[in-house]
Amino acid sequence: MNKISKVKGALEVLLVSGLILVIPLFFAIKTTAEMQEAKNTPMPLTPTAMATFESNAVTTAKQPPACTFPLAQITAEESTPEEYIFSEPQIVLTEPDNIYDIVEWLPDNQQVLVTQDLNNARENGKPTRQSIELYNPETGESKIYATRYRIEDLPSWQPELNAVVYPAMNFLGFEANVNKLKFTRQVWVSYGNPDTAQMLADNLRQFPLAVKPDGSATLYLSDKKIFKKNGALKDIPSVAFDSNQWDYAKGRISNIPVTYKMAWQPGTSLIFLYGDGVSRLDGYTYILDADTGQVCELNMGGWAVTAHWSPDGRYLAIIRTHDHFPISSSDLTVLDTLTGKVYIVGVTLQIERGKHYVDAIAWAPDNRHLLAIGKFSPYANQPNDDQSRLYLVDLISGQSDDILPAYTFYAGSLSGNFAWSPDGSKVLVRCPTETDEKICFITVKRSGQ
């Protein structure tokens, strides 16, 4: 056999071998394709982007351990349930241009911390400004403590210093090509004179801050640390805390860091840390120990729109939803932090067909009742069909009473719609019309008084 014949023979062997391998492969591919076609389903999209996302975000974040109960050693005595009688609402303020947020009553039960959007004082090319005021609904007096560019994050009263601590936007301009604001996030304190307000911190990772209910500490977050100040607003040692470490949600795709709102449990070092799951996909419900930086996860069966601790610190009440924007329902969910028991209250009459919402909540001084604005929106409604009422909810029995059925209040799904005074004697609530902002004042008689 000559050389050419040998090469030819080798090629023939290769050809035959190749055919033996390729033909079954061809039929395997064809069969797969036919099966795919028979199922009549689209071919899956190549998840290249997901792989990139996972390597950037998911692998570096992890889910915190589940919280155990009791959450903290608190001395919560059994409260005596009270009865409350509410007066007719009285309009105490009408404002055609500007919108208010009602933040909280001060411990004196006389003044209310509010914010007012100054839409009538806009500067071209700049965000709207907002004033932070103390308002006395019985005298009509108000005192401006500070002004800032308008943000949704609320100020807090610092009772040890009789001062307002507030987050502020340091506006630097616009990145017009991407529609982004250029700014830094700051924290300020005002003792009553806007001109002498003092900056406490700059270049923070988020606006929300937390003030301990007794005023003995103020806390805000940077990327890697919890910054704390004592009751005199002096620095106390910071604690390591990597907020991105707990940003584990698989669906989240934004490269914008998660923003945590905070609510401080009275009498403890624990903070309810919650991410907004409505406009984003990171609806976390965590407990953060401000002393150690440790985090655990609460299973609330959804995510929190807003959160309030009962005055004695035993119960954590949240407005809970399961949806992303636009939400189709929300309820009142209360966690007993001693036992881990969860109470769920629908507030509005659930048998009616439509969308049911809870839009604002506030605790009664007896740690058992809550005021809530419940909204019922019938399906296929006209705008005026929405019913937003003020309800008194008994946490233990689950009973919910429409206490002022002749009146409609504002249900905006965000904080700042109403507040109940610490002694339970007064309620301030937004009651706007379609054209004007209005604030209503309600007096309350307690059975214990």
Partner 1 sequence: MKCKNILLVVSFLALFVFQQVQAGGIMPSVANPSINSAPAYAYLDHVWLYVVKLNQDGSIESPPTLCDVGYTDLGCAEPGYSFPSMNNPIYIDVENAYLPNVLPREMDVQNNDPTLPALQAQAVAARTYATWTALNKSYDDPFGFGYINQINNSTDYQVYYPDAYDHFVNPNDPEGVKQMISTAISSTFGEHLTFGDGSAIDAEFGGDIAIQSVDEPSKDYLNTIQDPISTICGAVTNYSGWGMSQKGALRWSKGNQCATGGDANTAWPVTWTDYRQILAHYYIGIDIMGPSGKVAPDDRWNLLKHNVPSQMTGGIAQSVEIWLQNTSATEWNDARLVY
User: Footprint of partner 1 on this chain (CB under 8 A)?
Assistant: 37-42, 45-47, 49-50, 53, 99, 117, 119, 122, 125-128, 149, 151-152, 171, 174, 178-181, 250-254, 256, 278-281, 305, 321, 324-328, 330, 355, 357, 359, 375, 377, 379-380, 382-383, 386, 410-414, 432-437
Residue 403 or 414: the one with the smaller Cβ distance to partner 1 is 414
CB of 169 to partner 1, least distance (A): 9
Is 342 buried (19+), middle (13-18) or exposed (0-12) by CB count in 10 A?
A: middle
CB of 344 to partner 1, least distance (A): 18
CB of 186 to partner 1, least distance (A): 16
CB of 259 to partner 1, least distance (A): 9
Here the tokens at position 325 are: 């924007």
CB of 167 to partner 1, least distance (A): 14
Residue 328 or 339: the one with the smaller Cβ distance to partner 1 is 328
Tracing tokens 């009865």 back to the chain, one arrives at 83
Rounded CA Rg of the chain: 28
Distance separating alpha carbons of residues 188 and 207, to the nearest angstrom: 11
Residue 45 or 240: the one with the smaller Cβ distance to partner 1 is 45
CB of 277 to partner 1, least distance (A): 11
CB of 129 to partner 1, least distance (A): 11
Distance separating alpha carbons of residues 198 and 190, to the nearest angstrom: 6
Here the tokens at position 97 are: 């241009």
Strand spans (E) along 259-345: 260-264, 270-275, 285-289, 295-297, 303-309, 315-321, 331-336, 342-345
Residue 74 or 414: the one with the smaller Cβ distance to partner 1 is 414
Whether the CB-CB separation of 183 and 172 falls below 8 Å is answered with yes
Residue 228 or 356: the one with the smaller Cβ distance to partner 1 is 356
Here the tokens at position 345 are: 């209250």
Which whole-number Å values give the CA distances from 5 to 1, 10, 11, 14, 15, in the listed order?
6, 8, 10, 14, 15
Counting Cα atoms < 13 Å in the Cβ hemisphere of 409 gives 34
Residue 7 or 181: the one with the smaller Cβ distance to partner 1 is 181
Residue 9 or 173: the one with the smaller Cβ distance to partner 1 is 173
For 113, left (φ over 0), alpha (ψ -120 to 50), or beta?
beta
